[in-house]
Amino acid sequence: MKMMTYSEGIREGMSIRMREDPNVLLFGEDVGKFGGCFGVSMGMFDEFGPERVRDTPISEGAIIGCAVGAAATGLRPIAELMFCDFLTVGMDQLVNQAAKMRYMFGGKISMPMVVRLPAGAGTGAAAQHSQSLEAWLTHVPGLKVVYPSCAEDALGLMLSAIDDDNPVMYFENKVLMGVKGEVNSLEPIPLGKGKVCREGSDVSIITYGKQVYDALEAAEKLAADGISAEVIDLRSLYPLDKALIGETVSKTHHAIVVTEEVRRGGYGGEISAIIGEELFDYLDAPVARIGALDTPVPFAPVLEQYYMPNAADIISAAKKMF
Q: Which CA distances in Å does 177 have to 57, 193, 225?
A: 25, 22, 32
20, with CB counted inside 10 A (0-12, 13-18, 19+), is exposed
CA–CA distance, 289 with 176 (Å, rounded to integer): 23
Closest to 110 in 3D by CA, of 5, 23, 228: 23
Closest to 36 in 3D by CA, of 67, 87, 81: 81
44, with CB counted inside 10 A (0-12, 13-18, 19+), is buried
CA–CA distance, 6 with 175 (Å, rounded to integer): 10
217 is an active site residue: no
Determine phi and psi for 243, rounding to 5 degrees. Answer: -65, -40
Contact indicator for 220, 228 with CB cutoff of 8 Å? no
20 is an active site residue: no
Out of 60, 152, 172, 260, pick the active-site residue: 60
What is the chain's alpha carbon radius of gyration, rounded to the nearest angstrom?
19
Out of 8, 12, 80, 129, pick the active-site residue: 129
Q: Which residues contact 300 (CB under 8 A, 6 or more apart)?
A: none
Q: What residues are labeled active site?
A: 60, 129
